[in-house]
C-alpha cells in the first residue's frame, strides 16, 4: 500500500471487507463489491487492477489502519504488568469482535489458499514496539533482559498463542469480563521471572 488511498478507494475497501465477511474472498466477485461500494466495475478496476490486488490492499489497510492506534510506550510511573495488560487488552478487544473474526477468517482462508505466509495484525510494528518497550524497561532498571528482540517475539507469541489463535480458530472464546484477569495471569507468569530482584 504505497500510495494514499482516495475516498472512493477506501469506500471500495470497506465494501470488500463487508463482502469478504459475508461471502468469503472467493465468493466476493468484483461485481458484488462494486455494487456494495455503489460504484462501477471500471472505477473499481481503475483503483485496484485485479481481485488479487484488492485483496492485498484490504489486508494492508487492516494491518496499517486497524492496529496503528495501539501504541506502546514505557511509562516509569505505571506498573509494568498494567502497561502490558492494557496494551494487549486493546488489541484483543479490537481483534475478537464478531465482525473482525469473520473478516480475519476469510482473509486467513484466502492467504492459505494462495500458499502465502499468514500475516498477523500489526506484524513487525507490534514486535518493534514491544522490543522498544522492553529496552526502556531495562534502561529504567525494572527488567533484566539480555535479548530484547527474542523476548519481544516470545511475549507476542505467548499472547497470540494463548488468546488470538484459539479465538480465531473457534477453539475458545474469551468473554469481555474475563479477558483482563486472564491477561494479567499470563503476563505476570511471563514477566515476573524477568523483573530485577
pLDDT of residue 89: 93
Task: Give the Cα separation of 48 and 25 in Å (integer).
Answer: 15
Enter the C-alpha cell of residue 165.
489463535
Q: What is the pLDDT of residue 64?
A: 73
Domain extent listing, the chain: 7-64, 69-97+116-194
pLDDT at 181: 96
- Cβ-Cβ contacts under 8 Å for 88 (sequence gap 6 or more): 159, 163, 183, 187
Q: What is the pLDDT of residue 121?
A: 47
Can you give the pLDDT at residue 118? 55
Position 113 scores a pLDDT of 83
What pTM value is reported for the model? 0.76
CA distance 9 to 28: 17
What's domain 7-64's architecture? Answer: Orthogonal Bundle (1.10)
Residues 103-141 have pLDDT tens digits of: 888 988 888 888 766 555 445 677 888 999 999 999 999
How many angstroms separate the CA atoms of 83 and 87, rounded? Answer: 6
- Classify each residue of 85-106 as buried b or exposed e, where b means 16 or more C-beta atoms within 10 Å of its C-beta: bebbbebbeebbeeebbebbbb
Residue 188, phi-psi category: left (phi > 0), alpha (psi -120 to 50), beta (remainder)? alpha
Q: How many CB atoms lie within 10 A of CB 54?
A: 24
Distance CA(39)–CA(83), nearest Å, equals: 44
pLDDT below 70 — which residues of the chain? 1-3, 66-69, 116-124
Amino acid at each position: 500500500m504505497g500510495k494514499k488511498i482516495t475516498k472512493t478507494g477506501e469506500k471500495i475497501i470497506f465494501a470488500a471487507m463487508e463482502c469478504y465477511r459475508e461471502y468469503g474472498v472467493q465468493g466476493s466477485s468484483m461485481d458484488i463489491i462494486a455494487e456494495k461500494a455503489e460504484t462501477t466495475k471500471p472505477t473499481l478496476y481503475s483503483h485496484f487492477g485485479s481481485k488479487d490486488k484488492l485483496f492485498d490492499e484490504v489486508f494492508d489497510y487492516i494491518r496499517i489502519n486497524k492496529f496503528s492506534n495501539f501504541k506502546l510506550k514505557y511509562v516509569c510511573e505505571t506498573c509494568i504488568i498494567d502497561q502490558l495488560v492494557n496494551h494487549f487488552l486493546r488489541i484483543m478487544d479490537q481483534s475478537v469482535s464478531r465482525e473482525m473474526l469473520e473478516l480475519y477468517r476469510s482473509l486467513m482462508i484466502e492467504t492459505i489458499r494462495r500458499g502465502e505466509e499468514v500475516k498477523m495484525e500489526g506484524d513487525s510494528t507490534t514486535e518493534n514496539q514491544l522490543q522498544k518497550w522492553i529496552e526502556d524497561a531495562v534502561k529504567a532498571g525494572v527488567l533484566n533482559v539480555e535479548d530484547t528482540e527474542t523476548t519481544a517475539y516470545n511475549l507476542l507469541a505467548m499472547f497470540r498463542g494463548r488468546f488470538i489463535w484459539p479465538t480465531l480458530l473457534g477453539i475458545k472464546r474469551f468473554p469481555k469480563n474475563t479477558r483482563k484477569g486472564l491477561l494479567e495471569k499470563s503476563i505476570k507468569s511471563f514477566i515476573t521471572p524477568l523483573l530485577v530482584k
